[in-house]
Each structure stands twice: as C-alpha cells, then as structure tokens.
Copies of this chain bind each other. A is one copy, B any other.
Amino acid sequence: MSARRFLVSPGQLKSELIILEPGEAGHAQRVLRLQAGDEIWLLDGLGNQARAVVERLNPMLCRVRERPPWPSPRPRIIMLLAVSKNQAMDILAQKLTELMVDEIRLFNAARSVAEAGGSKNDRWERLAGQALKQCGAARAPRFVAPPYPNGNLDEVLGQAPPSRLERALKIAAYEGEQKTNLAQIMPLQAPEEVWVIIGPEGGLSKEEIELAQERGFVSCRLTSSILRSETAALVTAGCLRCHWE
C-alpha cells in the first residue's frame, strides 16, 4: 500500500494529467523504479484520491483513471491538544494521522512547558503526509495552532459545539477523575463527532478541567497509571477509532 501512493496538491487532483513534483517523482523513480504504464495512487491529503497510470518519466506525468471516493471514518475526531515538546509532537503528527484524527487544535495549557506557534505546522504537515502515504487513509489531520489570539483552553473550547449535543461526544482525559472511565462514556452508536481534550505533561489544572466541564465536556480517566501526554492522545484516539470500527 505504501509503495505506490503519492501526494499532490489539492488543485492538481482535479486535472486529468498530473505532473508529480520532483521529490515525489524522484522517490518513485529511484526507490520504486516505476516505469511508464505502472499504476499508482494520488492523494491530496484532504480526503480526495485518484487511481492513475504513469505516462512518462522526467517529468513524471500521470493520467487519472478514476477518482473513487474515500469513505471518511465515523466519528470525526477533533483533538484539543496541549502543546508538547517537539519529539512528542513529531510522534503525534505521524500516529494521529494513522488513526485518522480529523483535526488537531493546539492550545497553551496552564502547565504547558512548550509553546505553540504556527511555524511548526509545516513540519507536522510533512510528517503527516509521509504517514498518510503508508496508512491507506486519504486525509491527514488539519493542524490548527495558536495564536487565536492567545491560544489558551478557553479559546479552543469556544470552537466546540455549545452543549452536550446528541451528535457530539465531548470528553476530557483527566487523571484526577475517579468515577468515570473512557469505556463507560462511549455510546453504542458512533456519534458524528468526538471532541477530546488532552492536557500537557503536568496534567490539566483544576481551573481548566472545571472550565471544560462547564462547557459540557465529560472528564474521564484512561488507565490507573499516569500516561505521558502523547501516550494519552494516542490511546484515546485508538480507543475511539477501534470502538466503532
């Protein structure tokens, strides 16, 4: 699956004839040794894909044969994620793509040790694009980073639906939660959307979890151990994707 999937820009995918950009074409020729006549898949990272055939090398020209729709997984997962250190964010950019998280909205938590900034988006999008070619999905997460103007939890909470709608499950992973766990609050039928808050390394502050609860988020614990922030993000996304698969 990974071998013959290539990224193109969204505008390109509407054409019948598409020229691969040099980085993608180089990989196709040098590593995969593709030839004229070989079949490949093209992705725009936004959920669109096309089956195509290589017509010519140098530059690498492909003709689209069909554009089968990609069935978006349900529910949509929107993760409100406290910014982590670079290494953890790199792991998340890759693995949350594999788990088909739809949006990652970063915020600066009270206890964040790193700070969000739009400048990292390019790096995460590149890592997500690489993961996308391997994992068989057609859409990478959309990364949204502060400033919003200041990028705290209050602001990203304002982006979520206003109340506990039927169609949107809103949860906050919180290690201080004693009563409710994640398995208990996943309904039998997949909701349209799940909004998930994942706090920073030091956890959400008391004020932050209370604010989330006021806005209709249900706090739940994951495991009896204390997970690193990126592990909590991966495990939550994994549980949500596997539960209604």
Q: Which residues of A contact B (CB under 8 A)?
A: 1-2, 71, 73, 91, 94-95, 98-100, 134-137, 181-183, 221-228, 231, 234-235, 238-239, 241-245
Contact = CB atoms under 8 A, between A and B. Distances in A.
Contacts of A225: 73, 98-100, 135-137, 241
A194 to B, nearest CB: 14
Contact of A99 (B73, B99, B231, B244): B231
Contacts of A137: 224-225
A73 to B, nearest CB: 6
Contact of A134 (B73, B183, B228): B228
24 contacts: A1-B226, A73-B223, A73-B224, A73-B225, A91-B91, A94-B228, A98-B226, A98-B231, A99-B225, A99-B231, A182-B245, A183-B243, A221-B245, A222-B242, A222-B245, A223-B238, A223-B245, A231-B234, A231-B238, A234-B238, A235-B238, A235-B242, A238-B238, A239-B243
Contacts of A238: 222-223, 231, 234-235, 238-239
A98 B225 CA distance: 6
A19 to B, nearest CB: 28
A117 B183 CA distance: 37
Nearest to A244: B183
B245 A181 contact: yes
A135 B226 contact: yes
A227 B135 contact: yes
Given A183-B242, A238-B239, A95 B231 contact: yes
B182 A242 contact: yes
B91 A228 contact: no
Contact of A242 (B95, B134, B181): B181
Contacts of A223: 73, 98-100, 238, 241-242, 245
Contacts of A134: 226, 228
A129 to B, nearest CB: 15
A235 B99 CA distance: 9
A100 B95 CA distance: 20
Contacts of A181: 242, 245
